[in-house]
Structure 1
């Protein structure tokens, strides 16, 4: 059986206020082609289908169209809700979708009855575990201590293993969490909303003992926790912090004995992300940056003085420049004395000049500014008199 493991579609997310629907459509077209060309039997989507609990009509249309095209390839689909999703909205009419081979798992205990799909070697049981917020599920299990995501998933996996012991056969688990081996603070980008308090809710890999393969979601970068426990990452870049992370999915092959092989398949990147560093004049005129003109661009300007209207100037060459940071290459060392000591016995113009030098990294008055400050301070003094 061939399984394509993907996750974190985040349909409806914007990138620095820009819509990503059309870029995501390009990626989904490629994903459908992979499923058809590689004869994939099951597409497993491990959570965060939508980016919002209240998806737009366009987001629903994109999901519906993609699932329809996946169904047309002959593949089955198993998808679960993540922490960004509304389980109720995503799961609406899931019973009917299941009749067409599109299995949407959102119920808090729905994983206890697996989706069993047969191949020539017998059944493969898919246990889809939706994102389970401890505060929202603990009342269903009054005799269990369920304060952390580790404890909730520990309970779920004990139930999965017990069910699997009775059924027999091969198995795949889908889950949406921070697994041990992937540090939340190091691997999460600014768009991966923390699903723990203080980053303490890591789930040890031992919790997932048993299944032949564990398809994880939540981390937006590809990660291998073990041969059988992996993150596929998101299909699009949603943050410049993800710029160096490849986009794709895992193609998992199960034979009669269980996990046989796992292969990475790349997905297209509709628009690259580039972080460009240099002075404004260099970035806007140097031929070395010609290849970046159609990229999403985050610019780091190293000019000693912050350029006026820097973003507008950059966008003349880089139309998709969406972020700007001023990080001077040369800065003045901070003075050791207090502010009151530094301004003592100084005139008002000298104080203003000192302020300008501080905020502009050592660059003080221009002739025009000196005359302007003198004029303003003179008017202030006359008015006070």
Structure 2
């Protein structure tokens, strides 16, 4: 049986306020092309179909269109809910949709009940495990402790119990969890419970193939246990990720042969570092002119209009940070200081922000702005000499 392992679609997510729905729709086109060209028998989606429990209408429309197109394809689909999804909303009408070959597994009561498929070598049991919140399953499942490991251990006990009665049946398990040995990125929502979120790969012993979701980078934990990662990058921490899906050939005796299917990259990510002038002039950064850019400036001060100037060369610059020698804005002073007047605080803030003293005209404008915002009728009298402290 040929299986395409995907996860973490996060339909409806934005990238630093940039809409991603068009890129996600293009990836769906790629998905359907792979199903057809590679003659895929089963598509598995290991959670986080949506980016949030109440997804925007356009994201729901894209999900509906995707599932309709998959239902018309040659492949069956097993899809589970992740920690970003609402299991109830995602699983609505799942019993009706089953008839179309789209199997939504979001209900805890169905854990241990597989989707049964067949190929020339016999039956394959696909066990889709929805995201198992330890707080939600601890009481109904009488768990010994509220942890992800305990929840998944109980789920796999139910899976193994089912498989024990199906001799000669190969197995595929979908799970949405943080499994030890993988490295997270900045864009996954924390699922820590009681300080512990990781589960060992041994929890899944007995399954022929385990399709994992939750982490956004692809990971091979063993020949039989893998993360596909997200199809698109959702944070700059994913700049080095290879995005795609695992194409799994499940042999007659459960042997696994895996190959990687690259996903199209709608716009690359660039993480640039240097002074503003270096970033604007260095020809080595030409490749990044069409990328989404995260820039870290190392200037000792903060250049004026830094983002506007960056965007003249990098029109898709989205994030700007500073790594100069000056202390971070808002940092507490090393030792207590005397009370300062509003004019002084505003003046020091401007110096800290820019790394240089304002000129006399800027000082006058700044002090007038402070006075205009003050409700106290006994406002500080404007002092035009910037070297003097304003006095009443």
The answer on 1:40 being equivalent to 2:58 is no
User: Structure 1 residues 54-63 or 132-141, which shifts more?
Assistant: 132-141
The equivalent of 2:287 in structure 1 is 291
| Structure 1 pair 350–239 and aligned structure 2 pair: CA distance change class (3 A) | closer
User: Structure 1 residues 198-207 or 319-328, which shifts more?
Assistant: 198-207
The answer on 1:375 being equivalent to 2:346 is no
The answer on 1:87 being equivalent to 2:87 is yes
SS at match of 1:375: coil
Deviation at 1:315?
1.8
The equivalent of 1:165 in structure 2 is 164
The equivalent of 2:370 in structure 1 is none
Across the two proteins, how many residue pairs are aligned to each other? Answer: 366
- Note if contact 1:172-1:211 (Cα within 8 Å) is conserved in structure 2: yes
Task: Please give the residue correspondences for 1:152-301 in structure 2 after superposition, counting only pairs within 5 Å.
Answer: 152-168=151-167, 169-182=169-182, 187-197=183-193, 199-301=195-297
SS at match of 1:307: coil
Cα distance between partner residues in 2 of 1:325 and 1:351: 23
Partner deviation per Cα, 1:213-235 (whole Å, 9 max, x = no partner):
00000000000111100000000
Cα distance between partner residues in 2 of 1:136 and 1:350: 54
The answer on 1:148 being equivalent to 2:144 is no
- Note if contact 2:30-2:263 (Cα within 8 Å) is conserved in structure 1: yes
SS at match of 1:29: helix
Deviation at 1:320?
1.3
Deviation at 1:72?
2.5
- Note if contact 2:113-2:127 (Cα within 8 Å) is conserved in structure 1: yes
Cα distance between partner residues in 2 of 1:25 and 1:244: 22
- Note if contact 1:131-1:175 (Cα within 8 Å) is conserved in structure 2: yes
The equivalent of 2:122 in structure 1 is 122
Deviation at 1:353?
9.6
The equivalent of 1:136 in structure 2 is 136
Deviation at 1:282?
2.7
- Note if contact 1:280-1:303 (Cα within 8 Å) is conserved in structure 2: yes
Partner deviation per Cα, 1:150-193 (whole Å, 9 max, x = no partner):
101101101111110101210000000011212xxxx2222211
Cα distance between partner residues in 2 of 1:50 and 1:266: 22
- Note if contact 1:43-1:78 (Cα within 8 Å) is conserved in structure 2: yes
Partner deviation per Cα, 1:59-83 (whole Å, 9 max, x = no partner):
1111111122222221000000000
Deviation at 1:17?
1.0
Cα distance between partner residues in 2 of 1:94 and 1:302: 54
Deviation at 1:203?
0.9
Cα distance between partner residues in 2 of 1:215 and 1:227: 11
Task: Please give the residue correspondences for 1:344-359 in structure 2 after superposition, counting only pairs within 5 Å.
Answer: none
User: Structure 1 residues 287-296 or 164-173, which shifts more?
Assistant: 287-296
Cα distance between partner residues in 1 of 2:119 and 2:100: 18
| Structure 1 pair 355–17 and aligned structure 2 pair: CA distance change class (3 A) | closer
- Note if contact 1:50-1:85 (Cα within 8 Å) is conserved in structure 2: yes
The equivalent of 1:70 in structure 2 is 70
Cα distance between partner residues in 2 of 1:8 and 1:281: 39
- Note if contact 2:244-2:261 (Cα within 8 Å) is conserved in structure 1: yes
Partner deviation per Cα, 1:10-48 (whole Å, 9 max, x = no partner):
000111011100011111111111111000000000000
Cα distance between partner residues in 2 of 1:265 and 1:191: 22
Deviation at 1:196?
1.4
User: Structure 1 residues 208-217 or 63-72, which shifts more?
Assistant: 63-72
Cα distance between partner residues in 2 of 1:314 and 1:64: 40
- Note if contact 1:28-1:66 (Cα within 8 Å) is conserved in structure 2: yes
Deviation at 1:352?
10
Cα distance between partner residues in 1 of 2:141 and 2:214: 25
Give 5+ residue unaligned stretches, structure 1.
344-348
SS at match of 2:321: strand
SS at match of 1:79: strand
TM-score w.r.t. structure 1 length? 0.87
Cα distance between partner residues in 2 of 1:242 and 1:101: 33
The equivalent of 2:309 in structure 1 is 313
